[in-house]
Amino acid sequence: MIARLLLALLLFAAPPAAPAQTLSGDAEARWVPFTLTAANHLRFAMTIDGVSAQALLDTGLNYSAVSRAFARRAKLTIDPDGAASGVALGGAIRVDWAATKSIAFGALSRSGGRVAVIELPRLLASASGDAEVLVGTDLIGAHALDIDFANRRFRLLPSGRMPFAGTKVPMTLQNGSGLYLTEAMLGKHRVRPLLVDTGDGGSLSIARSQWRAAGIKGARVTSTIAFGAGGVVDAGLTVTDRVTLGGQPTGPIELRIEGDGGFTRQVRVAGRVGTGLLLRYRVLLDPVAGQMVVAPNPQAPPPPLKSTSGLLLGYDRARLRVLHVMAGGPAAKAGWKANELICTVDGQPVALTAEGTIDVRWGTDAPGRVVRLTLCDGAERSLTLANFY
């Protein structure tokens, strides 16, 4: 299994209110095609000051941001007196500000205003196709966002439009930040407020206190990590079918259980709904109208694959690096450690697939299978796969 990239970020000391964004009169026809990356991020094309860029749609970000490399390429001028701080998953980060002349994608255009300038996570480029821009709620929050996952496209519409029928779920904008908030049920426990975060590739993350309050019996929980803009995030992990959204069951989903402090406390939320859950639907996010609307996606993904190896892996120059050893799994019981390097799997050298991704399907294969792994120092190990959460 591959560790998730989580881009939720709240920027402090924000610049003055940005100029109003405008939608063209033919907004309904202005679909924006996107690619769903390996990290479950929505990557699309846009322009800033006439310079083309690859962007990610990130509703967990309250001010749109560009990488420092893009700021240089687009010749944006950074305000020398405008440095601020941002709260991100994993820790705090430095934020600068740069003025822009124009921003455009789909039906939206903006003249003037500013963007944040930050260091994007190092793993982001390889996982999300060299994206350089994160589009946050400052650009899209005044409009209805219609995401058609089945056809890999989205569009911005005037708030209040209902382009399709579906289940309505309460949604609001958080005072002071403009982040999207909703709620869900875990068993008989209402979890709220939940940040709706398309920058989070997971399904549902909740604070540990919410998990305890839900009192789900018989659940087996392991450990996992993800990479936030501010560093590594540790969490518990389970798979559950006890979540409902708008009164409708979501089906089995991965549930991350995070600490009560850090990002969750500073942003004042009980957890996050990520793209891994949203892509089960066609989704309308319209906080100005007070609602999220979801309709089943006919091409929704199958139930989540569980790791049977207990290894979270990353690609590192024709090697697999062990990023985390999951608690209670076969790898933990066999004594595996983080940062060990794997060079061959069942005698085959580690390599990227033709699509540029990592094939680690063996790590979710049938329990009982024995996988032969050769470390890059020449040591050979056998790992017997098993169910453990």
Which pLDDT score, from 0 to 100, does residue 12 have? 47
According to DSSP, the residues that pair with 48 across neighbouring strands are 51, 103
Secondary structure (3-state) at 143 = strand
For the chain, the average pLDDT equals 91
Which pLDDT score, from 0 to 100, does residue 195 have? 96
Instruction: Identify the H or E element spanning 124.
Output: helix 124-127
Pairing mode, strands 153-158 and 32-33: antiparallel
Contacts of 261 (CB under 8 A, 6+ apart): none
Kindly list the structural domains of the chain, giving each domain's residue range(s) and its CATH number in brackets, ordered by start: 4-157 (2.40.70.10), 167-296 (2.40.70.10), 311-384 (2.30.42.10)
- Low-confidence spans in the chain with pLDDT less than 70: 1-18, 85-92, 121-129, 228-230
Which pLDDT score, from 0 to 100, does residue 91 have? 61
Which pLDDT score, from 0 to 100, does residue 38 have? 81
Which pLDDT score, from 0 to 100, does residue 45 have? 98
Which pLDDT score, from 0 to 100, does residue 48 have? 98
Angstrom CA distances, 40 to 16, 44, 276, 323, stand at 32, 13, 7, 19
Q: How far apart are CA 336 and CA 316, in angstroms?
A: 18
Digit-coded pLDDT (tens) for 320-368: 999 999 999 999 999 999 999 999 999 999 988 877 778 899 999 999 9
The pair of structure tokens assigned to 377 is 């120092």
